[in-house]
Amino acid sequence: MMEITLIRHGKSLWTENKPITGHEFKKWVEQYDFQGVSEEKSYPPETIEKIKAAAIVITSDLKRSLESAEYLKPNVTVISNSLFRETEMPVAQIRGLRLHASMWAVILRCLWFMGYSNGCESVKEAKRRAEAAARFLVERAEEHQSVVLVGHGFFNRMIAKELIKNGWIGNRKTSAKHWDSTTFRLEY
């Protein structure tokens, strides 16, 4: 049996939460990507079990993904690849409106799904990337049997959907909680 486990990175150290403009949100996202994650006193036992048992650990090339892997399994050797980065959000062209970053994220993600992709990959492009990411993980699982990806919430969901489409068994909805894991299995 082969296993692929998707883990969401830890909580970002970037906690700035004042109302900002759409233009400032782009800079907020850059800071979010630049900052690391908070180290926790403990992590979900299933997540620790899966990463310790994995023959190979893969991360995106963003700091929060790399640091999360290190916190979960100190001195881990990872394969880091930009293929697994979180899906980007479009740049807002709304002048004068100030919202909290979490509100901008919801609004821009909804607009993105409706086809607005100013300054970022489209939904169609992100789906193609998720297909490629799933293929990459499956190839590593065929070689190593047990693979872990420490990635990002939204893109992990897109990968999960692709794995299920290809016959892998697991929970279709990955957890949105930091540090949580979802495992997919395929008999061979």
Sheet strands (E) in 25-130: 56-59, 78-80
Tell me the pLDDT tens digit for each residue of 65-91. 999 999 999 999 999 999 999 999 998
- CB neighbour list of residue 52: distance below 8 Å, 6 or more residues apart: 73
Buried-exposed string 112-139: b where 16+ CB fall within 10 A, e elsewhere: beeebbeebbeeeebeebbbebbebbbe
Residue 24, exposed/middle/buried by CB under 10 A (0-12, 13-18, 19+)? middle
Global pTM?
0.94
pLDDT tens digits, residue range 142-156? 999 999 999 999 999
Instruction: Report d(CA 86, CA 120) in Å as an integer.
Output: 11
Q: What are the residue boundaries of the structural domains of the chain, listed by start?
A: 2-186
2-186 under CATH 3.40.190.10, yes or no: no
Task: Kindly state the percentage of the chain with pLDDT values over 70.
Answer: 100
Q: Tell me what the mean pLDDT of segment 46-60 comes to.
A: 97
Q: Tokens for 128, please give them.
A: 């193609």
